[in-house]
């Protein structure tokens, strides 16, 4: 059957000879493609092998522009906890989850947001390769109903892959509020694929989407026989397609023709081997288009897709003006204004931190007093007081310290960050801060992971993948590791804030920002390449969803409860044993030249700093166990508290952050950052101790 597709075979012996050559080369192409399961539907077995599929399960990929609600829908479907927020580029890498609905099993993949799948930009390549290699049974192309023009350009590109596809028009709740009405039947007819209105946050349209997925799984897309392009470009694509289609039977030839025109390296090489003439034709057609439009082929194809998308929207979408938009516009103008934007940032950030401190301090001190008051009664239960102390400090102390010291500060911080993230404010801050960050040699977008670093450095480091160049990514990862995360905030607020004074908290944060600015500027001088201008899609301002905010905050706080408490119990038991056998003094003595001699801290600080590498809040939480009280003023002077907190704030990225650093920027750079920060913290700590002693 394959042979019969070669017209040359029926002709003269010379051409028969040629066809054999083509055939053997083609077999090579086939086997190459088969090995990689790339693009070509060779045989069903091959595709099945590619993904170790479970029989009866429908494999679905969620694909769409950034920030259209893919992860919200993914979480709805699978119960997973993918990061959600109102700024583009949160999802990095492919997440998979499963669900069963009306007796059918679905395997869902949440992919990074992308505007196209043609270029070599990381997320475009990642999505393209995933679709090529994994060949999902169905693509669900999620589009934002509010910005259909831009979103449909990707739809038109995806359709040519001829994987069964559904378009989920998401954020319908918001589109309706914005006075947008869509003719879904018209859209379906023009696109040739099913179109379903959805609102991921409320679950609207999700069951219908699943039923539609089941209906079309395994069926070929029909009716996409012509390129979705304006006549001149469509004609060129058709010419290329007819020259190459015989080499790619049962393959999405429109897609392959566009890929060849757009200089896909692998496909071009394959074609050169099997048919240099056809390869030449592609070159000529490309050159002709580039000459005609005076642009590179990639831009020509992309802008043509946008033009097509726009013409589809003009036939299917109606807008009526609504009153609410101007208010949002006015808030947007205020938040992104050169002066007022900065002032509102200072006001919002300042009042947030003050609010977190006042609320956290109120709850934490009340809980701690109550907990301390229980101690004598508990120890009195045991005839051996040392055993009682061991159990109190080791077991109960750990759990209670997390509850009474950590969570009162953490939960408000997480809630405020989630509100900033989900409302779209974070992206506006990035815009406002772009100028200032550029002066440091950083990109404005870096402000998003930097601000998220106040919650936890680990996702913030991963979030730096939104940066466009390696240089910007490395610089912003470095900046993130200098941000005091929520765990460090617990130490700053719980120790310095509670026992020294809020002005010292402000001083510590201000010093940290100053140090970050100096270090990042110095590092950027070492990498002199210029940072690119700010290219970032501004997400719409929204009233944050209570559900999303609470979920995000809970998942971040849960980490502290589920990981910190067991870890604290284990460490508490070890520490209890160390205390029980009176080894604490020996360990502390060994470290005292550094802790006591250089930093002027009490000797027990050494062991806290060692365990603090695991998680920074341990330094404070364990202080309770080591000192045997939550009234820290009785075991440290205010100066010691400031120096100790300063060291904890700077001394090392915690273990989880180091692991993230290694993954993101490699062992060598991670080690350099870690060593630099340890040295710097000890140096600054020692100097701070001496200055504080002098000024008394």
Ligand X SMILES: Nc1nc2c(ncn2[C@@H]2O[C@H](COP(=O)(O)OP(=O)(O)OP(=O)(O)O)[C@@H](O)[C@H]2O)c(=O)[nH]1
CA distances 208 to 146, 198, 203, 215, 225, Å, are 21, 9, 10, 10, 27
Work out what residue 173 binds among Mg ion, ligand X, none; the CB cut-off runs from 5 to 8 Å by kind: ligand X
Q: Closer to Mg ion by CB, 66 or 444: give it.
A: 66
Strands (E), 353-512: none
Of 15-23, 81-89, 257-265, 490-498, the window that binds ligand X (rule: CB under 6 A) is: 81-89
Tell me if residue 105 falls in helix, strand or coil.
Answer: strand
In the region spanning residues 545 to 574, those forming contacts with ligand X, defined by CB under 6 A, are: 545, 548
Q: Closer to ligand X by CB, 455 or 595: give it.
A: 455
DSSP assignment of 328-383: HHHHHHHHHSTTHHHHHHHHHHHHHHHHHHHHHHHHHHHHHHHHHHHHHHHHHTSS
In the region spanning residues 5 to 64, those forming contacts with ligand X, defined by CB under 6 A, are: 64
In angstroms, give the least distance from the CB of 202 to Mg ion.
18
In angstroms, give the least distance from the CB of 606 to ligand X.
43
In angstroms, give the least distance from the CB of 560 to Mg ion.
24
Q: Closer to ligand X by CB, 99 or 234: give it.
A: 99
Work out what residue 116 binds among ligand X, Mg ion, none; the CB cut-off runs from 5 to 8 Å by kind: none
Query: What phi and psi values does residue 262 have, to the nearest 5 degrees?
Result: -85, 20
CA distances 482 to 252, 479, 653, Å, are 49, 5, 8
Determine if 182 is a binding residue for ligand X (CB under 6 A). no
With 0-12 / 13-18 / 19 or more C-beta atoms within 10 angstroms meaning exposed / middle / buried, residue 297 is buried
Quote the CA–CA distance of 350 and 332 in Å, as a whole number: 20
Q: Identify the residue among 34, 47, 171, 564 touching ligand X (CB under 6 A).
A: 171
**CA angle at residue 164 from 163 to 168, to 5 degrees?**
115
Of 3-11, 31-39, 130-138, 198-206, the window that binds ligand X (rule: CB under 6 A) is: 198-206
In angstroms, give the least distance from the CB of 663 to ligand X.
19
Query: Facing residues of 141 across strands?
Result: 63, 167
CA distances 100 to 76, 78, 105, 140, 573, Å, are 13, 9, 4, 17, 43
In angstroms, give the least distance from the CB of 481 to ligand X.
23
Structure token pair of residue 541: 């301002």
Quote the CA–CA distance of 125 and 539 in Å, as a whole number: 23
Of 166-174, 180-188, 382-390, 683-691, the window that binds ligand X (rule: CB under 6 A) is: 166-174
Give the single-character DSSP code of 247: G
Determine if 90 is a binding residue for ligand X (CB under 6 A). yes
In angstroms, give the least distance from the CB of 552 to ligand X.
9
Q: Closer to ligand X by CB, 112 or 394: give it.
A: 112
Q: Closer to ligand X by CB, 259 or 465: give it.
A: 465
**257 close to 298: Cβ distance less than 8 angstroms:** no
Look up tokens 């995360």; give the residue.
485
Number of residues in the chain: 696
Work out what residue 486 binds among ligand X, Mg ion, none; the CB cut-off runs from 5 to 8 Å by kind: none
Q: Closer to Mg ion by CB, 403 or 448: give it.
A: 448
In the region spanning residues 418 to 437, those forming contacts with ligand X, defined by CB under 6 A, are: 422
In angstroms, give the least distance from the CB of 450 to Mg ion.
20
Q: Identify the residue among 29, 30, 69, 472 touching ligand X (CB under 6 A).
A: 69
Q: Identify the residue among 22, 30, 59, 66 touching ligand X (CB under 6 A).
A: 66
Work out what residue 592 binds among ligand X, Mg ion, none; the CB cut-off runs from 5 to 8 Å by kind: none
Look up tokens 């974070």; give the residue.
426
**How are beta strands 95-101 and 104-110 bridged, if at all?**
antiparallel
In angstroms, give the least distance from the CB of 486 to Mg ion.
22
Task: Catalog residues that contact Mg ion under the rule CB under 5 A.
Answer: 70-71, 90-91
Q: Closer to ligand X by CB, 360 or 459: give it.
A: 459
Q: Closer to ligand X by CB, 84 or 254: give it.
A: 84
Of all helices (H) and strands (E), which one includes residue 317? strand 317-319
In the region spanning residues 360 to 389, those forming contacts with ligand X, defined by CB under 6 A, are: none
In angstroms, give the least distance from the CB of 182 to ligand X.
14
**565 close to 434: Cβ distance less than 8 angstroms:** no
Among positive and negative, which fits the CA dihedral 442, 443, 446, 450? positive
Look up tokens 């931190």; give the residue.
353
Long-range contacts from 662-667, C-beta under 8 angstroms, 24+ separation: 664/461, 664/462, 664/464, 664/465, 664/473, 664/477, 665/473, 665/474, 665/477
Q: Computed over its alpha carbons, how large is the radius of gyration of the chain?
A: 30
Q: Closer to ligand X by CB, 91 or 481: give it.
A: 91
Work out what residue 85 binds among ligand X, Mg ion, none; the CB cut-off runs from 5 to 8 Å by kind: ligand X
Query: Facing residues of 180 across strands?
Result: 319
Q: Identify the residue among 59, 85, 356, 624 touching ligand X (CB under 6 A).
A: 85
Determine if 84 is a binding residue for ligand X (CB under 6 A). yes
Determine if 170 is a binding residue for ligand X (CB under 6 A). yes
Look up tokens 């589109």; give the residue.
175
Q: Closer to ligand X by CB, 304 or 422: give it.
A: 422
Quote the CA–CA distance of 506 and 353 in Å, as a whole number: 9
Structure token pair of residue 262: 């757009």
Work out what residue 488 binds among Mg ion, ligand X, none; the CB cut-off runs from 5 to 8 Å by kind: none
CB within 8 A of 458, min separation 6: which ones?
656, 657, 659, 660
> Closest CB to ligand X belongs to which residue?
113
Q: Closer to Mg ion by CB, 93 or 533: give it.
A: 93
Determine if 201 is a binding residue for ligand X (CB under 6 A). yes
Q: Closer to ligand X by CB, 66 or 572: give it.
A: 66
DSSP assignment of 159-197: HTT---EEEEEE-HHHHHHTTEEE-HHHHHHHHTS-EEE
Determine if 70 is a binding residue for ligand X (CB under 6 A). yes
In angstroms, give the least distance from the CB of 444 to Mg ion.
21
Quote the CA–CA distance of 682 and 420 in Å, as a whole number: 34
In angstroms, give the least distance from the CB of 31 to ligand X.
36
Q: Identify the residue among 26, 30, 40, 113 touching ligand X (CB under 6 A).
A: 113
Of 86-94, 437-445, 502-510, 686-694, the window that binds ligand X (rule: CB under 6 A) is: 86-94
Of 171-179, 425-433, 571-579, 601-609, the window that binds ligand X (rule: CB under 6 A) is: 171-179
276: nearest Cα among 248, 237, 244? 244
Q: Identify the residue among 22, 29, 39, 68 touching ligand X (CB under 6 A).
A: 68
**Which residues of this chain interact with ligand X, rule CB under 6 A?**
64, 66-72, 84-86, 88-91, 112-113, 170-171, 173-174, 199-201, 422, 545, 548
């Amino acid at each position: 059957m394959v042979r019969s597709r070669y017209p040359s075979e029926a002709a003269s012996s010379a051409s028969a000879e040629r066809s054999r050559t083509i055939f053997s080369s083609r077999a090579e192409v086939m086997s190459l493609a088969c090995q990689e399961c790339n693009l070509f539907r060779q045989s069903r077995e091959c595709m099945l092998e590619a993904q170790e599929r479970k029989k009866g399960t429908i494999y679905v990929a969620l694909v769409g522009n950034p920030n259209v609600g893919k992860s919200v829908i993914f979480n709805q479907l699978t119960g997973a906890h993918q990061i959600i927020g109102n700024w583009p580029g949160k999802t990095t890498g492919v997440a998979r989850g499963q669900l069963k609905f009306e007796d059918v099993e679905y395997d869902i993949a949440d992919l990074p947001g992308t505007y196209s799948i043609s270029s070599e930009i990381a997320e475009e390549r990642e999505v393209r390769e995933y679709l090529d290699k994994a060949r999902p049974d169905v693509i669900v192309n999620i589009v934002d109903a509010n910005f259909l023009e831009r979103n449909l350009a990707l739809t038109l590109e995806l359709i040519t892959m001829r994987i069964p596809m559904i378009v989920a028009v998401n954020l319908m709740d918001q589109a309706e509020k914005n006075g947008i009405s869509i003719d879904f039947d018209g859209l379906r007819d023009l696109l040739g694929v099913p179109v379903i209105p959805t609102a991921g946050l409320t679950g609207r349209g999700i069951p219908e989407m699943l039923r539609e997925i089941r209906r079309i799984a395994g069926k070929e897309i029909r009716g996409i026989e012509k390129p979705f392009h304006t006549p001149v470009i469509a004609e060129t694509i058709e010419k290329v397609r007819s020259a190459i289609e015989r080499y790619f039977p049962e393959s999405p030839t429109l897609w392959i023709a566009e890929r060849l025109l757009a200089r896909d390296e692998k496909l071009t090489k394959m074609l050169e081997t099997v048919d240099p003439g056809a390869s030449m034709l592609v070159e000529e057609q490309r050159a002709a288009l580039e000459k005609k439009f005076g642009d590179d082929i990639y831009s020509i194809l992309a802008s043509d897709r946008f033009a097509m998308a726009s013409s589809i929207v003009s036939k299917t979408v109606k807008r009526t003006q609504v009153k609410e938009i101007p208010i949002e516009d006015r808030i947007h103008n205020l938040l992104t204004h050169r002066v007022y934007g900065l002032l509102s940032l200072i006001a919002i950030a300042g009042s947030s931190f003050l609010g977190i401190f006042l609320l956290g301090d109120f709850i934490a001190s009340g809980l701690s007093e109550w907990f301390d008051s229980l101690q004598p009664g508990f120890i009195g239960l045991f005839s051996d007081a040392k055993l009682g102390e061991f159990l109190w400090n080791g077991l109960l102390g750990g759990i209670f310290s997390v509850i009474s010291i950590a969570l009162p500060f953490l939960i408000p911080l997480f809630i405020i960050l989630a509100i900033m993230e989900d409302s779209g404010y974070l992206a506006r801050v990035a815009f406002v801060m772009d100028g200032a960050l550029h002066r440091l040699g950083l990109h404005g977008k870096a402000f998003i992971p930097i601000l998220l670093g106040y919650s936890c450095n680990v996702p913030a480091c991963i979030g730096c993948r939104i940066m466009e160049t390696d240089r910007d990514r490395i610089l912003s990862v470095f900046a993130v590791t200098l941000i005091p995360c929520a765990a460090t905030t617990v130490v700053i607020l719980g120790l310095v804030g509670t026992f020294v004074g809020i002005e010292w908290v402000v001083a510590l944060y201000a010093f940290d920002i100053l140090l970050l600015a100096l270090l990042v500027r110095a590092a950027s001088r070492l990498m002199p390449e210029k940072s690119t201008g700010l290219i970032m899609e501004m997400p719409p301002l929204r009233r944050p969803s209570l559900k999303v905010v609470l979920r995000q905050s809970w998942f971040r706080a849960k980490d502290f409860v589920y990981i910190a408490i067991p870890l604290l119990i284990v460490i508490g038991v070890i520490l209890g044993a160390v205390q029980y056998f009176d080894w604490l003094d020996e360990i502390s003595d060994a470290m005292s030249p550094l802790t006591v001699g250089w930093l002027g801290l009490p000797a027990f600080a050494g062991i806290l700093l060692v365990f603090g590498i695991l998680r920074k809040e341990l330094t404070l939480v364990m202080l309770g166990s080591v000192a045997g009280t939550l009234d820290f003023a009785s075991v440290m002077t205010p100066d010691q508290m400031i120096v100790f907190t300063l060291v904890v704030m700077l001394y090392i990225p915690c273990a989880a952050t180091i692991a993230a650093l290694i993954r993101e920027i490699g062992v060598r750079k991670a080690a350099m950052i870690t060593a630099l920060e340890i040295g710097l913290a000890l140096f600054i700590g020692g100097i701070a101790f001496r200055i504080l002693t002098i000024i008394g």
